[in-house]
Amino acid sequence: MIRVTLYTKPGCHLCEIVEQVIGFVQSRRPFQFEKKNILDNPVDLARYQHEIPVICVNGQEIARHQLTAAALERALDDAA
């Protein structure tokens, strides 16, 4: 199954918006959703500290800072 990962941290308002987009798409299409707090992993923190939200599909980055439903759906189609 396709996995969508959202790199985030508490209090990130852009992350909340992206998570809503992911939830909307997930209500229409099946995939696994994983939310990773960058504060829990020093490697993630160093990589994404000033770049969140970061969205990956099956480990491949597809977007930073913002995401549309159409962009996520295209990435899911490409991963299928």
pLDDT at 64: 97
| Count of CB atoms situated within 10 Å of the CB of 43 | 8
Would you place residue 6 in the very low, low, confident or very high pLDDT band (cuts 50, 70, 90)?
Answer: very high
What was the pLDDT predicted at 29? 96
CA dihedral sign of residues 37, 17, 21, 74: negative
Domain 3-79 in this protein, CATH class? alpha beta
Q: Would you say the pTM of this structure is higher than 0.85? A: yes
pLDDT at 41: 97
- Read off the pLDDT of residues 26-78 as tens digits, 9 standing for 90 and up: 999 999 999 999 999 999 999 999 999 999 999 999 999 999 999 999 999 99
Q: How do beta strands 32-37 and 54-57 pair? A: unpaired
All structural domains of the chain with their residue ranges: 3-79
